[in-house]
Structure formats: C-alpha cells, structure tokens
C-alpha cells in the first residue's frame, strides 16, 4: 500500500469515528486489503475515476462495525414508538373534546340570543332603532304611503294594517314607489331613501310585509284559522310581516346554522333546529321560520345518515324546553314591569338552568322506563287477580 493510499484509509477511519460519535469505533474500522485498492498499471498509470477536470479520484472503502446495543438501549427503543402513539392519541382526543365543547357552547349562546330577540325584548330593540332613525317624513316616506294617504282608498286598506295590503311596502313595491317620488333625484338618492324608509317602517310594531295580500282573502283566512284552530288574527298578520328584531333574530340563527352545519353532532344540531322553530312560531317571525325549516331538514338528514334517531328526539325536546323556559321567564318579568336589562339577565339565567336541567335527560331512557313500569304494573295485576281454576 502506498503512502497516499494509507492516508486515504486513515481519513476514512476518522470520518467513520466522527459519524458514530464513539471513539471505540476507530478500532472497529477495517480498511479493505491493499489488493482491492487502486494500483498502478504496467505503464505506471493508476486506474480509477476521474472527475470533470481530469483529476484522479482515489476510492477507499471501509466497513464500520457498530458495537452492539445494550439491553437498556433496546428497551428504550422498543417502548418509544408506543409512547409516541399514546401521546398522539391522547392529544387528539383532548383537541376533539375541546372543539366539541366550544361548538356546543357557541350553539347554546346562539339559541339564547335568538330566544331573547323573539321575546318581549324585541320591542325594546325596535324602539332603539326607531329612536335612531326618527325624523320628519321624507318624500320617499310619503311616496310609499301614497295609497294610505288617499282618503278614498284608506278604508279598504285596513287602517294601521295597510302595509300588508297597499302594495308599496314590500321591497319591490318600495323600489317602484321611490322612483316616482321625484324626477330630479339620482339612483343613489333613491336607493338611500328607500332603505331609510324601509328601516323606519320596520322599526314600528306593524313592521313590513313579505308579500302583499288582498284584504278580503286575508280576512277570510284569518276567520278560518280562528274558528278552526283558535289562531288569532294578529298571529296571521305577524307571520306575514317582519321588523328589525325579526331581522336580527334571523341573522343570528343563520350564523348558528352555518356554524354548526358540519361541526356539531346530531343531538346538538337538532336542539338548535327545535329552538329556532319554537322561537319562530311563538314570535310569528317568518324569516326565522324559513331558517328553522332548513335546520330541521338538516338535523333529520344527520340522523338518517348516522341512524341516531334517539339523539334527534333528545335534541328536539331539549331545544323546545330550553327556549320555552327563556320565553316564559322573560314574559313574566315583562308582565311585572321589569326593565329590558332585567329581562335579558333573567332570560340568560333561564337558558343556563334549562341546559343544566336537561343535560342528562334522554327521551329514549324515559320511554324505556315508562315501558318497563307499565310491564311491571301489568305483571303485578296478573299475579294479584285470582285464576279461574283457584276460584272454582
């Protein structure tokens, strides 16, 4: 072996020792025999690989024998993957539980908010908006009330209920009316005037209609509902109109449904859908009722795909009970002359207490309990009654 080859072999040993980090590895490194190294040929030239510059590259190979692992190292190596798997599993469960808790808490907050906006607090909200928008009637306000201001048409428009019948208080009707208000205004002025006039009317107790009714058809429908189902005429009017509080309640419900569309379980979403439907029916909010129909359909679809029909029933009952408790408590405070702030406080408290009271309630468990109780009663009756053979 030449001197240059010996230097290359030493360099291989040192590099192997650096890689292993163990000085004992130097002694374990064996350099290939000299006959496997690069040797000069008969003409004195050395064979090997030359780089792009034509320089001779000397290749030396080494075999590094790693010292065997100790029993302690083998034990650590065996349980390390299992520990990492356990840590990942526990972390995943914790993150999933935290996410579910956050979504459920947000859903309950949305339920309470829409229930409060569907209660007597809606009157305070409408008064607040009306105070902000109060002012003299503009040309656009007068244009929308043209039919009502006509003394010949006024008796046929139902007095203060005229917005449902005059055809100029729907969004389309208002747009047509404000365009005829002035020939000199711009489109921007007309748009601003229409929005301002609509908000003014929406903040009043009569609100704005979704569509225009014929008064005779409305009166006949109201009489039928009252005679058949004892539904008052005011409820029929309310379900066809909306105000500012109704808009806010529907907006909150839309956000809640979008938030929980895919992130909530069947029971939680069914609870939200039932609460939305209850608030819509009690407050006769047509916008909220549309959202409730969509939410009910989605909750049923969730139950159908997962087979969780018991969870669907549990969530629906909890939503109805919780919303009913909030509406009843707020109505009681309002009847006692309480302020809006007190109604909000009592309503939120009722929502929390209702959730805690129904948290562990299961409709399926109650049904099973009643079924078992009835079976036990029937068994006791059969034992207590004398048999015909014994009587004979």
Cα(255)–Cα(248) distance, integer angstroms: 11
DSSP secondary structure, 75-110, as one string: HHHHHHHHHHHHHHHHHHHHHHHHHHHHHHHHHHHH
Q: What is the pLDDT of residue 43?
A: 47
pLDDT digits (tens, 9 = 90+) for 2-43: 666 666 666 656 665 555 555 555 455 444 444 444 444 444
User: Poorest-confidence range of 31-40, 284-293, 342-351?
Assistant: 31-40
Report percent pLDDT > 90 for the chain. Answer: 53
Judged against a pLDDT cut of 50, whether residue 83 lies above it is answered with yes
Place of tokens 């019948």: 165
pLDDT digits (tens, 9 = 90+) for 263-280: 778 999 999 999 999 999
Q: What is the pLDDT of residue 8?
A: 62
How many secondary structure helices (H) and strands (E) does the chain include? 17, 6
Cα(218)–Cα(236) distance, integer angstroms: 9
Q: Are 313 and 271 in contact (CB under 8 A)?
A: no
Cα(325)–Cα(347) distance, integer angstroms: 8
Question: What is the three-class DSSP state of 46?
Answer: strand
DSSP secondary structure, 8-37, as one string: HHHHHHHHHHHHHT-TTHHHHEEEPPGGGS
pLDDT digits (tens, 9 = 90+) for 187-230: 999 999 999 999 999 999 899 999 999 999 999 999 999 999 99
- Helix (H) / strand (E) element for 62: namely strand 62-64
Find the mean pLDDT for residues 153-173.
Answer: 88
Q: Residue ranges of the domains in the chain?
A: 1-37, 104-361
- Helix (H) / strand (E) element for 116: namely helix 71-117
Q: What is the pLDDT of residue 35?
A: 43
């Amino acid at each position: 072996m030449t001197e240059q080859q010996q230097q290359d072999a030493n360099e291989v040993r040192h590099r192997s020792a650096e890689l292993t980090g163990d000085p004992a590895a130097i002694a374990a490194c064996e350099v290939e025999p000299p006959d496997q190294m690069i040797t000069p040929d008969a003409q004195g030239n050395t064979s090997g690989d030359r780089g792009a510059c034509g320089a001779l590259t000397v290749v030396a190979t080494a075999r590094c024998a790693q010292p065997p692992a100790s029993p302690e190292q083998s034990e650590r190596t065996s349980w390390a993957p299992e520990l990492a798997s356990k840590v990942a599993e526990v972390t995943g469960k914790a993150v999933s539980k935290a996410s579910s808790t956050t979504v459920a808490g947000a859903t309950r907050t949305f339920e309470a908010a829409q229930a409060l906006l569907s209660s007597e607090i809606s009157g305070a909200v409408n008064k607040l908006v009306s105070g902000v928008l109060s002012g003299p009637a503009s040309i656009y306000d007068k244009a929308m009330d043209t039919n009502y201001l006509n003394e010949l048409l006024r008796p046929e428009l139902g007095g203060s209920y005229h917005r449902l019948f005059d055809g100029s208080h729907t969004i389309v009707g208002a747009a047509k009316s404000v365009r005829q208000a002035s020939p000199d205004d711009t489109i921007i002025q007309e748009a601003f005037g229409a929005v301002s006039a609509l908000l003014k009317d929406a903040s009043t107790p009569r609100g704005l209609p979704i569509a225009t009714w014929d008064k005779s058809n409305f009166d006949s429908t109201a009489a039928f509902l009252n005679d058949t189902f004892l539904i008052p005429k005011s409820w029929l009017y309310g379900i066809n109109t909306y105000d500012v509080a109704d808009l806010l309640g529907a907006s909150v419900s839309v956000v809640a449904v979008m938030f929980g569309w895919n992130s909530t379980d069947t029971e939680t979403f069914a609870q939200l859908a039932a609460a939305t439907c209850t608030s819509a029916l009690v407050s006769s909010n047509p916008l909220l009722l549309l959202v409730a129909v969509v939410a009910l359909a989605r909750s049923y679809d969730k139950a159908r795909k997962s087979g969780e029909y018991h969870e669907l029933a549990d969530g629906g009952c909890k939503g109805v009970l919780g919303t009913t408790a909030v509406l009843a408590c707020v109505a009681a405070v309002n009847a006692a002359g309480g302020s809006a702030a007190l109604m909000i406080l009592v309503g939120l408290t009722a929502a929390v207490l209702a959730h805690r009271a129904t948290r562990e309630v299961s409709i399926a468990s109650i049904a099973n309990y009643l079924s078992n109780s009835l079976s036990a009663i029937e068994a006791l009756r059969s034992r207590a009654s004398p048999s015909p053979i014994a009587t004979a």
